[in-house]
Structure 1
Amino acid sequence: MKKIFFLISSLFTIIPFKINSVAKKLDKEKNKVDNVLELGKDIDKSNAKDSSGKYKHNISNFFVIGDSLSDVNGLTTFVEQRIKALKLNAELIIKGDAYGFYKDEKFFNCFSNGPTAAFLLAEKLGIKCLKPSNIYSEGVNGFGNSYAVAGATAGKLNTNSGAFLNDVRIDIQARALIQQHKINKNDLVFFEIGGNDLAYIVKLIQIGEDYTSYLEDATERIKIALFSLLNNGIKNILFMTPPPIDFPPIFQDIMSKKEYILIKEVILLATDQFHKNIIEVLELTNEHYKNCVHLFDLYKNTEFLKNKFYKTFWFKKKKLALEMINTSATNWEEVEVELTIGEQTRSINGVRDLISLLPELIFASKKANNKILIQINSAKFNDPINFDCYFFVDKLHPNKNVHYIVFKILYKKVKKIMKHSKNK
């Protein structure tokens, strides 16, 4: 996925965007709010629509905010809506063995080889389809119920990718949700974030920079997001913590290298502190809004997930190595890019070649009024027959069967939450 974000962040660096970043504007205006009960009270709700319905367990609406663990068409929709500012007709598709799925003959972009846990949960609740939305979505018909975008963080990124990813920060996602929808007491929000924050903290430690200010900023923005929802009427939030940083194969690879042995302990201490900070924020919400925020602590339950996955899927094929749970089904680095302008399609030899050609291609497209289609294909499965037995589809994202296990856990929690909600 690193190459994918390198491509997308480069798009936002090369193209001279004429629209102001919402995050940048808000950060300039940001004043520290001492009273948490005032957070989110400044959000303009004049264009909010009533999108409520009648779903299972007396749920009136279901919203998702988060990152790639929940993203279904979120990243691609966000990029396309940002590019519209240039009056370009552009589409981004992320496909390949590892990414995306078809449902009712329609393709859905996501960072797994099947539906995410949030997507499955929405279906189970009776919601036909999660629709992506973000702070740039326009018109009531353009507002969706899923704000999760791959690459999203809680903290503010001071990187090239921050040029676009800061606009899908968790506090901005929460703001967009409240701005776009009228809230009812039986609405439910699934809230997960933090994996990309942990990755950024690792990067800061690797280059010898102080990570504590970023960690504090990420924690503060999770607090802002939660209280923005609660202060505007949300009464049911299911919060999922990020997994430990040494859980995905990519970070196992990094921390097994000799040069990182000395900083491994620092990395683990930092990620433990982030988890502790998150729990403290959740405890704070409970002081003001008792029993409104409920926890699935993925950080503490990754071993349970591994064991459940092993018993459910791997154990049926005893000849396969147990190491498949700790490795990925595809080669992380193999990414193919296809570019279509009008009727002509060409394969690009590497992401850097595409980036070097972009200014010329965009100019030609605007001149001819042609549509630009950028398709990023993930690597093929290393073991197509047994790919379902790999816990990870790449070195960061879980297999669809892992999502299914998490969905089952989340659904049990939702039933309890909504049963309790009747008595509020």
Structure 2
Amino acid sequence: MNHRQLLNVKAQPTMYVIGDSLSDTGALVSGATALFKHLKMPKIVKMLPPFYNNSFSNGPVAIQIVAEHLGITLTSGWKFEVFGFSDEQIGNNYAFVGALASKINEFGVDSFIYNHFDSYHQVQALVQQHHFHEKDLIFIGIGGNDILRAIKIKDLIEQEKIIDSAIEALNYNIKLLLEKGATNIMVANAPDISIVPLFKNNDTVKTRALALTKRFNSALFTMIDTINNKSKTIVKYDLFTSMHNAMNKFKSLNENHNTIDGAVKTNFNYFIKDGVITTHFNKGVNESNIDEYFFFDDVHPNKWVHNYIAQDIIALIKNK
């Protein structure tokens, strides 16, 4: 029996994750480090505190809490080919910071990196590295970065094309998982992108972000309903509503809780050169009061929010 066959012999069901920064527990660090090696730019990617265990928050991300509740250890996985070289890491969490559901068509550093870890590459790595047990759970939560990318484009029709491409990609990937024997899939829609601190001072962009988020979420759940007419294997998770519920709860706990600003500013300026991702505390924030902020940075929620979402997902798993 070879190494891969050994990995596929499971004593109990496990969990697999397809996603982005809301679920990444180390793929950015290990995957980008491997990618830089093949680009002849050797460097060890590092995420410095207050990042928690190579995740974009100050504590465990929601899917890690869910996995631990189920008695499952998440390890980062990925697979890509570049310049004739193939590289992979076998794991069960393929979520990658910045990953999109669809590919980026424009040429640039971002597209070169993220197009090796989009939903297609994540699903391809998963189905090539593993065979599914009938009770394995696959969690899919991706699409927020497609919305963020669309917002940067001025042309409204082009914005909607990006959203539609993301849905097409997810439709293909989910059907592939079903063809390969997946029987338990949970798909989360996108959180409300319009409420993140990145857009707090731009009402026009916030309005458009909300419209694009709703377009994505409506199309995603409609697509899932269509698939479920035949298979009945996909559970929908309404992350959009859950995030709003979490924000209302967070406000109610303490009148001084901040739900508008990010606690830190994430800095990618040294990522390409040195492989280091750093943060600095925003004005008025420090280690003692960072937990009073709903948002960790301009886009990502803090550990309290992740725990709230995790408990919501755990309850849904129990009910289903």
Same fold at TM > 0.5: yes
**Amino acid aligned to 2:15:** F
1:283-305 deviation per Cα after TM superposition (whole angstroms, max 9, x unaligned): 12201211x11111112333211
How far has the Cα of 1:228 moved from its partner?
1.1
| Aligned residues of 2:77 and 2:94 also touching (Cα < 8 A) | yes
Structure 1, unmatched stretches of 5+, are 1-46, 55-59, 101-107, 338-349, 359-372, 418-424
Give the whole-Å Cα distance in 1 for the aligned partners of 2:42 and 2:112: 21
| Aligned residues of 2:190 and 2:216 also touching (Cα < 8 A) | no
Give the whole-Å Cα distance in 1 for the aligned partners of 2:299 and 2:242: 17
How far has the Cα of 1:139 moved from its partner?
8.8
| Aligned residues of 1:309 and 1:405 also touching (Cα < 8 A) | no
Aligned twin of 2:30: 77
1:113 maps to which of 58, 65, 68: 58
CA, structure 1 residues 228+82, in 2 after alignment: closer, same or farther (shift >3 Å)?
same
Instruction: Indicate the structure (1 or 2) with the bigger Cα radius of gyration.
Output: 1
Give the whole-Å Cα distance in 2 for the aligned partners of 1:94 and 1:264: 29
CA, structure 1 residues 162+384, in 2 after alignment: closer, same or farther (shift >3 Å)?
same
| Aligned residues of 1:51 and 1:61 also touching (Cα < 8 A) | no
Aligned twin of 2:304: 401
Is 1:94 equivalent to 2:35 in the alignment? no
- For the aligned residues, what is the CA RMSD? 2.5
CA, structure 1 residues 240+51, in 2 after alignment: closer, same or farther (shift >3 Å)?
farther
Classify the secondary structure of the residue corresponding to 2:45. strand
How far has the Cα of 1:393 moved from its partner?
0.8
Give the whole-Å Cα distance in 2 for the aligned partners of 1:163 and 1:194: 18
Aligned twin of 2:181: 233
Identical-pair percentage: 29
How far has the Cα of 1:399 moved from its partner?
0.4
1:71-117 deviation per Cα after TM superposition (whole angstroms, max 9, x unaligned): 011111111121232566531011132x12xxxxxxx2010001101
Is 1:306 equivalent to 2:251 in the alignment? no
Aligned twin of 2:279: 378
Between 77-86 and 60-69, the greater mean CA deviation after superposition: 77-86
| Aligned residues of 2:80 and 2:117 also touching (Cα < 8 A) | no
Structure 2, unmatched stretches of 5+, are none
State TM-score, norm by structure 2.
Answer: 0.88
Aligned twin of 1:392: 295
1:328 maps to which of 257, 262, 268: 262
Give the whole-Å Cα distance in 1 for the aligned partners of 2:179 and 2:302: 36
Classify the secondary structure of the residue corresponding to 1:126. coil
| Aligned residues of 1:81 and 1:136 also touching (Cα < 8 A) | no
| Aligned residues of 1:96 and 1:380 also touching (Cα < 8 A) | no
| Aligned residues of 2:46 and 2:277 also touching (Cα < 8 A) | yes
1:33-84 deviation per Cα after TM superposition (whole angstroms, max 9, x unaligned): xxxxxxxxxxxxxx66415232xxxxx1111110000001111111112123
1:354-382 deviation per Cα after TM superposition (whole angstroms, max 9, x unaligned): 86xx5xxxxxxxxxxxxxx6332211362
| Aligned residues of 1:79 and 1:92 also touching (Cα < 8 A) | yes
How far has the Cα of 1:268 moved from its partner?
3.4
Give the whole-Å Cα distance in 2 for the aligned partners of 1:265 and 1:248: 12
Aligned twin of 2:133: 184
How many matched pairs?
Answer: 309
Give the whole-Å Cα distance in 1 for the aligned partners of 2:38 and 2:290: 40
Give the whole-Å Cα distance in 1 for the aligned partners of 2:105 and 2:80: 21
Between 160-169 and 391-400, the greater mean CA deviation after superposition: 160-169
Give the whole-Å Cα distance in 2 for the aligned partners of 1:220 and 1:269: 19
Give the whole-Å Cα distance in 2 for the aligned partners of 1:209 and 1:303: 28
CA, structure 1 residues 139+374, in 2 after alignment: closer, same or farther (shift >3 Å)?
closer
CA, structure 1 residues 51+198, in 2 after alignment: closer, same or farther (shift >3 Å)?
farther
Aligned twin of 2:80: 136
**Amino acid aligned to 1:297:** D
CA, structure 1 residues 266+397, in 2 after alignment: closer, same or farther (shift >3 Å)?
closer
1:124 maps to which of 69, 91, 97: 69
Give the whole-Å Cα distance in 1 for the aligned partners of 2:227 and 2:132: 18
How far has the Cα of 1:308 moved from its partner?
2.3
Is 1:151 equivalent to 2:98 in the alignment? yes
1:393-414 deviation per Cα after TM superposition (whole angstroms, max 9, x unaligned): 1010000111001111111112
Classify the secondary structure of the residue corresponding to 2:24. coil
Aligned twin of 1:344: none
How far has the Cα of 1:307 moved from its partner?
1.8
Classify the secondary structure of the residue corresponding to 2:312. helix
Classify the secondary structure of the residue corresponding to 1:145. coil
Give the whole-Å Cα distance in 2 for the aligned partners of 1:125 and 1:162: 35
| Aligned residues of 2:187 and 2:235 also touching (Cα < 8 A) | yes
How far has the Cα of 1:269 moved from its partner?
2.9
Give the whole-Å Cα distance in 1 for the aligned partners of 2:38 and 2:100: 24
Give the whole-Å Cα distance in 2 for the aligned partners of 1:89 and 1:203: 31
| Aligned residues of 2:195 and 2:206 also touching (Cα < 8 A) | no
**Amino acid aligned to 1:144:** G
1:207-229 deviation per Cα after TM superposition (whole angstroms, max 9, x unaligned): 66622322221110011111111
